[in-house]
Amino acid sequence: MKLLAQAVIKFLLGFGCTWLLLFLPAGGFSYWNAWLLTAILFIPMFFAGLVMWKKSPELLKKRLNAREKQGEQKKVISASSLIFIAGFVVAGLDFRFGWSTVPLWLVAAASVVFLCAYALYAEVLRENAYLSRTIEVQQDQKVIDTGLYGLVRHPMYSAVVLLFLSIPLVLGSFLSFLIFLPFPLLLVRRIRNEEEVLAEGLQGYTDYMQKVRWRLIPHIW
């Protein structure tokens, strides 16, 4: 129950912060794109959290822990948070003042991409019980090389790229999309550091890197 309480508190804090960052700059609750994003973001998140609490509480505990120990990763997380906050605020202001307009068909397409990326993220969580939010080598951790991990070494980050780049389009803001655009470069930095940690501390990871060549996108990187 303590774990459930922690998850609920974090969920409510995330929901509240998202509302403030979107509706406050938008000047009211008529920002329908923000309603759309909160629906497709938090409804699946709520049910995914319940499933993890019932089926895999240890994984939920790891996902709730966001305290990075690696100095390099702390910088990446801080920069990502700034992008997230700035992107949301600019999206709200964009709606309020009409700086840019994303066509409805593109908003719909971005919403579909977002939900597909969410499903991909959920599949990664199902495959990898060691999937902590922090970069670390866990006790008795093993290399996962099946399923999506047989295609790319970091399928979770592949899903995260799709999620982040679809968010500003769901919000109907090209200006916000420009702010989110550097995010994949931050992930590249995070991945390189993460692989150094895993190659040094996780047995078999170096062989896995030779077996699966691609990090994020097959045949590209």
Residue 130 lies in a domain: yes
The count of structural domains within the chain is 1
Structural domain contains residue 187: yes
Query: What average pLDDT does this structure show over 140-156?
Result: 83
User: Residue 16 sits in a domain of what CATH number?
Assistant: 1.20.120.1630
What residues make up the domain containing 139?
Answer: 2-211
- Identify whether 101 is part of a domain: yes
Q: Which amino acid is at 73?
A: Q
Question: Tens digits of per-residue pLDDT, 36-53?
Answer: 999 999 988 888 777 777
The DSSP secondary-structure symbol of 216 reads S
- The answer to whether residue 199 is domain-embedded is yes
Most confident by average pLDDT, 115-124, 155-164, 166-175: 166-175
Q: What is the pLDDT of residue 7?
A: 75
User: What local confidence, expressed as pLDDT, does residue 165 receive?
Assistant: 94
pLDDT digits (tens, 9 = 90+) for 80-107: 889 999 999 999 999 999 999 999 999 9
CA torsion through residues 183, 187, 188, 193, sign:
positive
Structural domain includes residue 37: yes
* High-pLDDT (> 70) share of the chain, %: 87
The reported pTM is 0.85
Separate counts of helices (H) and strands (E) for the chain: 9, 0
Structural domain includes residue 39: yes
- 117 and 50 Cβ atoms separated by less than 8 Å: no
Within a domain: 190? yes
Per-residue pLDDT at 131 exceeds 90: no
| Backbone angles phi and psi of 133, in degrees to 5 | -80, -15
Question: Cα 10 from chain centroid?
Answer: 15
Q: Which range among 62-71, 112-121, 142-151 shows the weakest confidence by mean pLDDT?
A: 62-71
Residue 216 lies in a domain: no
